[in-house]
Every structure is written in C-alpha cells, then in structure tokens.
Amino acid sequence: MNQAYHEAVTQMEKMQVNREYVLGWMGGYLHNPMREEQRVTEIYEAGYADGQKGAKGNFAKWAKQ
C-alpha cells in the first residue's frame, strides 16, 4: 500500500472512526466494488464516496464522541 493510504487508516484508527466508515473509505480508496445492496449503510456509503476522492476531511464527523 502507499504511504497516504497507511497514514489515513492509522489516523482513522487513532480517532476511533466508525468501523463502517473506515471499511467504506478503504474500499472506495482501493476502487473495490461496493458491498451488495443489503449490506450498504449510510455511513459505509459516506466512507466509500470519501475514499474514492481520497478525502480525509470528514473523519472527525464519524469519530466516536
């Protein structure tokens, strides 16, 4: 994996970002196909969309308070 991917995932883990968002972000970043329809959640979709763009600015929105 590249350094940017590793740093982003490490940052999300430290911030305790919701697991669904993290999994979506990783899948989107790696251009994996989206989950099957019955397993897709709003949080997963948000992570997937951000991952496709390589966006790192929304992590805090999904972090545990």
CA atoms within 13 A on the CB side of 55: 14
The pLDDT of residue 1 is 66
How far is 51 from 14, CA to CA, in rounded Å?
18
Report pLDDT digits (tens) over 13-57.
999 999 999 999 999 999 999 999 999 999 999 999 999 999 999
How far is 37 from 15, CA to CA, in rounded Å?
28
Give the confidence band of 64 by pLDDT, cuts at 50, 70, 90: confident
The pLDDT of residue 38 is 92
pLDDT over threshold 90, residue 65:
no
Residue burial 8-38, b: 16+ Cβ < 10 Å; e: rest: bbeebeeeebbebbbbbbbbbbeeeeebeee
pTM for this prediction: 0.93
Domain residue ranges in the chain: 3-62
